[in-house]
Chain A
Amino acid sequence: MKHLLKASCFILSLLALPLSTQVLAQDLTHPRDMEIPKSKFKRPDPAKYQVSLDNGLVAYVTKEHQVPLVSLSAFIKAGKIDGHKEGAAEALAEAFLTGPKNMSSTAFKAALKRMTAEYSVTLHNKWIEINLNVPAEDLEEAFELFSTTVISPNITEANIKAAAGKETKDIKVDKNGVIIDGSSSVAVSKFHDIILKGNILGKKLVSSDFEDLSTHDVESFYTAYVVAGNMTIAVSGDINEKAIRKKLKAQFSSLINKTPPNRRNVPKIKRQKNKYHYFPADKLQTWVVIGHPLSPVAFKDETALEVMNYILAGGHFWTRMFIETRDKYGLTNDASGYIEDQWDGSGSYSFHSSSRHDVTKQLYDNIMGVIYEIQKELVSDEELMIAHNALADGVYEMKFKDGNATARSFAIEKLRYGNHHHSKSYPARVRSVTKKDVLRVANEYMHPDAFQVIIVGEHIILQ
């Protein structure tokens, strides 16, 4: 019996040894072979958050209870390209920054400060956004300020002057024309100047534009575009949803609804012949932008272009361009691709990078190498799968990551498309992109023979 016990213990200990070794061994299953479940994400239902006023104004209200903060945003479908008087949109954006008619801009700023608010107004080419973030304890006052500013902004001569000061700022250069300040955005700005020359999207305002502008012009712009059916609102945070819905109705029902003027006809941005543009800069690095205008992208191609760009240069870190410039050769800290969307019209497609001067030529060659390659051959199954998942489970999900992001995403989508079909169908549209689609859009929307090459820094000789 004693022997039997001893033997049993021995056998058990032998059994236990491999078992414990197995438990302690590091699990190094290759990610490809791991059983990773599908993401549980489901896009929230916009109807649940939507508030529609009788005058046509649509708002989205979401509760976000993690911290006692509230965000209020307004999105207006009117931008730099709109109106009949140059500078009116810019001056209106300034007016929104200075608050409502019934208080001085000093009092408005003091109120924002007292609330420890974050307040911004951003003017895009085709839309304006106003964002206010405050502690929940200040919601009453903040809502009043926000709504009165949107409904009745304080349009003054001072707004026009302030807009003139901002819009006519130049890049800092020395007496020889050498750029002495700024960042890589200088090269991007030069790129826009070149491809948008003569197009309304690239309009450059000058002092005389603002000299010719009156407060009446700005009022007219406001009255024409800031109407109930031409804007959306997002409210999110530590709120009582019912109370907010009530407030929205009380404050914004007075907004008139009428059809805004037709948007200006934005001519298609013409592609130019491939050209090198050099701007000297007193910097330790050379900034590089390579790109061209982007033709309006057909709805059916939208996700295919995104997938192609993700594989080529858009999916920061793991992209062909990043690997062939940074990972393998240490030529740059970053090389990425940007599809610039212009809401129903031409935009641009460009690649941005920077390098120490002595390797800029090699950087350029490697960027061009991967561009040509993706136009010649099908991407791999694995590349396609990674891009599908990264866009559908990553980028897309983040747009609805919390109540604030959700309200904002829906408000912008509604303003742009008039409905929510776009976001609803997005994951399926991404996943349906095939390797052939990627090859096709790489050739249809990318034209190296039309690339404008912007070099800011030291001159390089290109072939």
Chain B
Amino acid sequence: MRPEKRHKLQLFYEILCAIEDDIVHNKVARPTHIQHNCRLSYDKMMNHVIELERRYLIYREKTSGLISSTSKGKKFVKQYNELIKLIESIGL
């Protein structure tokens, strides 16, 4: 069965969570690990990573390519969690 199309916000959230998860387990977040966690093609994942960087939600090192989430990115994850809880609570 074809998987449900994910909303852009959900993809951003999953990428940011994957970054945090990778940092917790491996001390650093690598793009390939994030790609694996988010179940995205590398091209699509990189497009989203570029957009997240442009919005200052993540920071990417130029030389190593390692990724970390900014305080704005952490705030986004928090707000997303609140939104999901709110939507769930009203049955939407």
A binds B: no
B contact set with A: CB distance below 8 Å: none
